[in-house]
Amino acid sequence: MIESDKHIIKTIELLSDFLGILSDGYNPTVIWLKIDRTVRIKPEKIFNDHWFGKGSLEQILSTKKELNKDLEEILTDCFEWSLVHLRTFNKSADLFNSKYHCENLNKLIGKVKNDILNYFDSDQLKLSVYIIDTKDGSLEKYLFLESNDLNAYFVFGNYIH
C-alpha cells in the first residue's frame, strides 16, 4: 500500500469517527474504504460475510447497478444518504438545527469528497453499487471503483441496532 492509499483511507476513517461522535451511539452511520492494487476485489467474496439464509448471496448480487454518473455526483448521493440517517439518529439535535453548523459539516464533507476526487482518476473508473438490507433495518451501500491499476470499494453503512 502506498502513502496516498494510506492517506485517503485515514481521511475516511477520521470522517467516520466524527460522524460516530454525532450519532446517538446506537444507530451509527459508518463509512470505510478498502483499496487493493494487486488483487481484483470480488463482490461475491466480500458479500459471503452477509449470509442471511439460502439464496442471500444471489439476492445481494442482484442489487448491482452499473453507474453512469460521474464520481462526484455519486459521492454526493452517498454522503447525503448517510447524513439523512445521521440527522434521524443523533445526540446533536442543536447542531442539525443550526444553519452555521450544518454548513460547516457540509464543508467538512466537501473537503473529504475533494480528497477522494483528487485521489481517484474518475475518467478511468468503472463504478457500480450494491445495497444490502441486513434484515435488522440496517442498510449498507457498497460503492465499487475499478480501474486498470486500482480496485477499491467504499461502504456507507446506516445501522439500526
Q: What is the pLDDT of residue 54?
A: 67
Least confident range from 53-67, 68-82, 95-109, 144-158: namely 53-67
Give the CATH number for residue 70. Answer: 3.40.1000
**pLDDT per residue over 56-73, tens digit each?**
888 888 889 999 889 999
- Per the CB < 8 A criterion, the answer to whether 45 and 153 are in contact is no
Backbone dihedral region of 83: left (phi > 0), alpha (psi from -120 to 50 degrees) or beta? Answer: alpha
Place of cell 469517527: 17
Percent of the chain clearing pLDDT 90 (strictly above):
66
Q: Which domain holds residue 118?
A: 3-158
Q: What pLDDT score does 57 carry?
A: 81
Mean pLDDT of the chain: 91
Does the pLDDT at position 125 exceed 70? Answer: yes
Q: Give 67: exposed, middle or buried? Use CB within 10 Å, 0-12, 13-18, 19+.
A: middle
Within 8 A by CB and 6+ apart from 7, the residues are: 115
Number of domains in the chain: 1
Q: What is the pLDDT of residues 1-35, one digit of tens each?
A: 799 999 999 999 999 999 999 999 899 999 999 99
Pairing of strands 126-133, 65-67: antiparallel
What pLDDT is attached to residue 48? Answer: 79
